[in-house]
């Protein structure tokens, strides 16, 4: 797949948050739902669009209290218009799923593959899903109006789901035994849905609900209107992890955070530089793969940092030349790869 010549047709979108070590909010930096657990800190929301190979294509920043589902269409519309692309297949996880987003994507003739919340479907859809009785590696299609719901099952996912359920249950049981189950703990998020309240004070575990949830272990759903076949949809969605890797690299290796700027235009410039750095990172990765090098981009960068040039000025002619100092085997390896 080529990147920006009008032939790209599959893109991946996700959002993250970047917090600031400040107390006061402003027009951009606002407190909101933090993906980094820093709910008390003002933050910005960063939306990122990448290609199938993880190349960064477009981004935008939003106010810290912006609902993440409202960020996707502006970024995609702008990207499509800027590069004159005719057709795009949008891939995003279930966090971006909403009936409004689906309606807007369809009204603008986008194809999409979104992670589905199959446990939240209507009863007759859930009955169809559970009736599939899928085995490891199997998948099936459940029709949902003018959309298709692709259901897949894997033993490894089932094992992980079971582990997480049991871990969540043990955490709740421990809180109940210790008497540390506070009012803020009693809600319907996460594994707290297994709590059962009798009267005003008695709290217990709803084991029936816990056991009913076991039926969904290993199942994952994808809602789509794409013309791709079932296997193509699953294969394309499987590349979504690359955008999560992009955020991880940006936050750690490329040090997009912390941001010390206060003025909005400086914050925007900081994010722009980080975006450009990630583009260079991906180009380095591409070239290393093309040259069949076993070096990772991180390793190549660290080696390159140890290579330096000596400035030499001729005492008579005053001519200035530069001599690149390459000594170690690692440095020679990099120099040979990139012909310097």
What is the count of structural domains for the chain? 3
Binning pLDDT at 50, 70 and 90, where does residue 256 land? Answer: confident
From 182, 201, 216, give the residue that closes a domain: 216
From 243, 264, 286, give the residue that closes a domain: 286
Q: Is the per-residue pLDDT at 191 higher than 90?
A: no
Task: Say if strands 43-50 and 10-19 run parallel, antiparallel, or are unpaired.
Answer: antiparallel
Residue 212 sits in the same domain as residue 227: no
pLDDT in the model for residue 177: 82
* Span 141-178, pLDDT tens digits: 999 999 999 999 999 999 999 999 999 889 888 888 88
Residue 127 sits in the same domain as residue 43: yes
Cα separation, 204 vs 64, in Å, equals 37
203: in domain? yes
Q: Averaged over 187-191, what is the pLDDT? A: 60
236: in domain? yes
* Span 26-76, pLDDT tens digits: 999 999 999 888 888 899 999 999 998 889 999 999 999 999 999 999 999
**pTM for the complete prediction?**
0.84
Describe the chain by its helix, strand, coil percentages, rounded to 5.
Answer: 45, 20, 35
Write out the residue range of the structural domain in which residue 241 sits. Answer: 10-147+222-286
Q: 99-107 and 72-83 are packed helices; what angle lies between their axes, rounded to 10 degrees?
A: 20
Residue 33 sits in the same domain as residue 176: no
* Span 71-119, pLDDT tens digits: 999 999 999 998 888 888 999 999 999 999 999 999 999 999 999 999 9
Residue 125 sits in the same domain as residue 167: no
- 197 vs 254, residue with greater confidence: 254
152: in domain? no
Residue 90 sits in the same domain as residue 109: yes
2: in domain? no
* pLDDT > 90: percent of the chain: 66
Per-residue b or e along 210-230, where b marks 16 or more CB atoms closer than 10 Å to that residue's CB: beebeebbbbbbbbbbbebeb
Residue 87 sits in the same domain as residue 108: yes
* Span 261-313, pLDDT tens digits: 889 999 999 999 999 999 999 999 999 999 999 999 999 999 999 999 999 99
Residue 111 sits in the same domain as residue 259: yes
Residue 170 sits in the same domain as residue 137: no
* End-to-end CA separation in angstroms for the chain: 30
pLDDT in the model for residue 2: 45
Most confident among 28-32, 151-155, 327-331, 336-340 (mean pLDDT): 151-155
264: in domain? yes
pLDDT in the model for residue 1: 39
Residue 281 sits in the same domain as residue 310: no
Residue 258 sits in the same domain as residue 308: no
From 267, 286, 305, give the residue that closes a domain: 286
Residue 56 sits in the same domain as residue 72: yes
pLDDT in the model for residue 22: 84
Residue 163 sits in the same domain as residue 15: no
77: in domain? yes
Can you list the alpha helix ranges (DSSP code H) found in the chain?
72-83, 99-107, 123-131, 155-178, 207-213, 230-237, 241-251, 264-290, 297-304, 329-337
5: in domain? no
* Span 201-215, pLDDT tens digits: 567 788 888 889 999
292: in domain? no
């Amino acid at each position: 797949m080529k990147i920006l010549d009008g032939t790209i047709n599959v893109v991946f979108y996700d959002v993250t948050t970047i917090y600031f070590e400040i107390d006061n909010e402003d027009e951009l930096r606002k407190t909101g739902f933090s993906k980094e657990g820093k709910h008390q800190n003002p933050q910005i929301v960063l939306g990122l669009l990448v290609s199938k190979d993880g190349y960064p294509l477009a981004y935008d920043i939003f106010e810290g209290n912006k609902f993440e589902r409202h960020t996707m269409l502006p970024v995609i519309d702008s990207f499509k218009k800027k590069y004159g692309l005719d057709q795009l297949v949008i891939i995003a996880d279930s966090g971006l799923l909403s009936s409004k987003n689906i309606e807007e994507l369809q009204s603008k003739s986008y194809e999409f593959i979104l992670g589905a919340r199959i446990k939240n479907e209507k009863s007759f859809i859930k009955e169809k899903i559970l009736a599939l009785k899928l085995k490891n590696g199997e998948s099936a299609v459940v029709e949902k109006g003018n959309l298709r719901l692709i259901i897949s099952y894997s033993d490894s996912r089932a094992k992980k789901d079971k582990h997480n359920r049991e871990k969540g249950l043990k955490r709740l049981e421990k809180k109940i035994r210790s008497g540390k189950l506070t009012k803020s703990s009693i809600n319907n998020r996460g594994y707290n849905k297994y709590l059962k309240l009798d009267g005003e004070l008695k709290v217990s575990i709803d084991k029936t609900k816990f056991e009913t949830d076991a039926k969904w272990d290993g199942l994952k759903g994808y809602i789509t209107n794409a013309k791709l076949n079932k296997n193509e949809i699953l294969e394309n969605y499987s590349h979504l992890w690359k955008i999560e890797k992009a955020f991880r690299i940006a936050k750690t290796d490329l040090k997009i955070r912390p941001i010390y700027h206060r003025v909005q235009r400086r914050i925007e410039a900081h994010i722009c530089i980080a975006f450009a750095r990630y583009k260079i990172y991906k180009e380095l990765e591409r070239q290393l793969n093309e040259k069949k090098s076993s070096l990772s981009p991180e390793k190549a960068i660290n080696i390159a940092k140890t290579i330096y040039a000596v400035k030499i000025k001729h005492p008579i002619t005053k001519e200035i030349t530069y001599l690149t100092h390459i000594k170690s085997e690692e440095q020679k390896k990099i120099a040979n790869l990139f012909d310097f």
